[in-house]
Structure 1
Amino acid sequence: MLIVFGLMIAGGALLGGEGDSADNKSDTSAATKSGSSSDSKLKDNYHVGSVANHKGYKFKVNKVTYYDGSDFDKPKKGNRYVICNVTIKNDTDKKQSYNPMDFQLNANGNSTNMMEILTKENYSQNTLDSGDLDPGASVTGNLIGQANKNANLKLEYQPSVWNDETVKVSLY
């Protein structure tokens, strides 16, 4: 009985050791994969007009317009509307989704959505909707938010295709 018990412990230790080495192999391959993708790592900060490119999925803020509002469009007191015209391009070989909910306006560290609706025609007609881009296709549209007139502004973009990396575009 004691011999059987000893064999079970020895067998468990051997199997456990193999499991550990298998785990180490998978950890090593994951590290290798993340290391190989460092070539396509996004910069910490972009500016209006520069292109963020991650493995063929491209994003650019074309221009930023500020709008103080009107009788119908009234931002919160001390705020103004921030309209970002953006282009997303799919240079990959797979269909890619896009969504305006992937964007936030960061004003002095406070991030809010870019889903404001304006009645002014030239801003509201071309808002960015959600959809899918075929390989080689692109889409351009406006994102509308609001922020304090004196805030340091950044547009933050975090699509799921970039593995939780966020593109930050300085808007000043």
Structure 2
Amino acid sequence: MAVRWLLWLQGLALVWGQFIATTPPAPARACSELSRSSCEECLQNVSCLWCYTNKTCVDYPVRSVLPPASLCSLSRARWGSCWMNFEALIIAVAVVAGLLLVSAAACCSYCCYCRRCAKSSSPDEDEERLARKREERRLQALQRKRERRVKHDEIRKKYGLLQDSDNPYSRFENE
């Protein structure tokens, strides 16, 4: 019985090993070998750069982000696709990055504005604040009215025009 299990496990390991094993990829052709071909064949290898000036396929200079002008001018260099040069690629990437930054900044400022508005006051708080201000203005107006009445009464008293408080409807008497 144990021998059967061992044989079964050994067979399972063999099948699993064949399932997991992968064949190594075919070695990629060197870019310099593709110089005698077309742009499309050159750019099938991701590490290659096609230069239309001298119709050569060269290794992409990975140490620098952009290929140096001594290798090929940006307007004549192709990488990734034959129909787009490096100048157009740089401009397109810059425009997309700029739009993303501007839209992110606009979204952030809008969110901050909305959060500030929501946090600063709610409709009930606004109504309470307005009612408090209205009441303060009314009290100030009443205070000014009392002060004016006191001043006017003093002037009337000075000139003898103060009416009798018992009978406010009595006529003034000439003395």
For normalisation by structure 1, the TM-score amounts to 0.28
Task: Point out which structure has higher relative CO (alpha carbons under 8 A, 6+ apart).
Answer: 1
Structure having the higher Rg: 2
For normalisation by structure 2, the TM-score amounts to 0.28
Q: Determine which structure has the larger helix proportion and give its number.
A: 2
Q: Determine which structure has the larger strand proportion and give its number.
A: 1
